Amino acid sequence: MITTFQQHIQEQQQEVSEASGTFSYLLAGITLATKMIQAKIRLAALDNAYGAIGQTNVQGEQQQKLDVYANEALLHCLGLKDSVAALVSEEDEEPVTFDRSLETGKYIIVFDPLDGSSNIDVNVNVGTIFSILKRQPHGDLNASILRPGHTQVAAGYVVYGPSTVLVYTVGNGVHSFTLDNTIGAYVLTEEHMKMPDQGSYYSTNEANAATWPQAYRDYLELLRSGGLGREYSSRYIGSLVADFHRTLLKGGVFLYPPTSKQPNGKLRLLYEANPLAFIAEQAGGSAVGGGSVNKACSRILDILPEGIHQRTPFMYGSKREMEALAEVLGK
């Protein structure tokens, strides 16, 4: 018999929240929005939904029509949930807040509505990434948002590929679901996923290698020269969620180091690195970042955020590759 995502969340309920049903009702807002997004993506070419809308977002990036659609779908579906105190999106400069009491508005959802925007028009996998934080009883909403990633109550992503796959954790292992459009439900495909101890792919944008700190070039040379006891191949999709999903399943390492153009890294801490780092650790891997061109890295989930759109260098992967990276960076 099948297990749907909603059923699975209810089984995990005791792990996350004392309020039975609130949490699964909240997550239903995310799954509904992702079903709307995947439907829009699959027919985008027929719907004139490709291309830019002709304005830039807070990131200074050209907003794609699908970025805006995905953002609006999530804001709409989640805004209706009483348990939401605030929504933090890559596409909105400030958090969207709701005037709800401490007892009602218990959660803050942080998300990258459409990850991999540069791949939308070429029909390559893109995704949605989300992270759920608990509202704190004291301080303003920002005090509840700017907390280290190890305080997340849940994290997950949906990768819109040949199939639509949702992966999540509430701190009790990593579980994946496949969207079955015939019944309109995410159906459990794998529980307690574990990254292999070592993979055979490294994943990075090598066009930036010339301006990385030397240690990252040394590390890549170590992988290429068989220094970890096996041959590596390069795989870089350019959609973080797709590169992450492959690493979760096959192992290996992903690197987005500091560059001269972006000395503090390109990827965003709150809605890209933190949720994926939580999943990586729950699956037996690890994730580091937070350094800069001349500052060592630390565990992503320990970084205290200073701003909701803060960027970070971001490296994640399986045990063997991350041990070797720590060694090379520690030198």
Question: Quick one: which of 115, 243, 281, 321 contacts Mn ion (CB under 5 A)?
Answer: 115
In terms of Cβ atoms closer than 10 Å to its own Cβ (0-12, 13-18, 19+), residue 304 is exposed
Residue 239 binds which of ligand AHG, Mn ion, none (CB < 5-8 A, kind-dependent): ligand AHG
Question: Quick one: which of 266, 275, 281, 315 contacts ligand AHG (CB under 6 A)?
Answer: 266
Smallest gap from residue 30 Cβ to ligand AHG (A): 16
Smallest gap from residue 117 Cβ to ligand AHG (A): 4
Instruction: Determine the interface stretch with ligand AHG among 2-10, 108-116, 148-156, 193-201 (rule: CB under 6 A).
Output: 108-116
Q: Could you tell me how many residues of this chain bind ligand AHG (CB under 6 A)?
A: 12
- The rounded distance, in Å, linking the Cα atoms of 255 and 305 is 20
Question: Quick one: which of 151, 205, 234, 298 contacts ligand AHG (CB under 6 A)?
Answer: 205
User: Closest CB to ligand AHG among 1 and 122?
Assistant: 122
Question: Quick one: which of 95, 116, 251, 275 contacts ligand AHG (CB under 6 A)?
Answer: 116
Question: Quick one: which of 84, 112, 246, 275 contacts Mn ion (CB under 5 A)?
Answer: 112
- Scan residues 73-92 and list those touching Mn ion (CB under 5 A): 90
CA nearest 74: which of 41, 26, 133, 20?
26
User: Closest CB to Mn ion among 115 and 281?
Assistant: 115
Tell me how far apart the terminal alpha carbons of the chain are, to the nearest angstrom: 52
Smallest gap from residue 17 Cβ to ligand AHG (A): 28
Instruction: Determine the interface stretch with ligand AHG among 101-109, 113-121, 175-183, 323-331 (rule: CB under 6 A).
Output: 113-121
Residue 281 touching Mn ion (CB under 5 A)? no
Q: Could you tell me how many residues of this chain bind Mn ion (CB under 5 A)?
A: 4
Residue 56 touching ligand AHG (CB under 6 A)? no
Element spanning 3, H or E: none
The binding site for ligand AHG (CB under 6 A) comprises 61, 90, 112, 115-118, 205, 238-240, 266
Residues of the shown chain interacting with Mn ion in the complex, contacts defined by CB under 5 A: 90, 112, 114-115
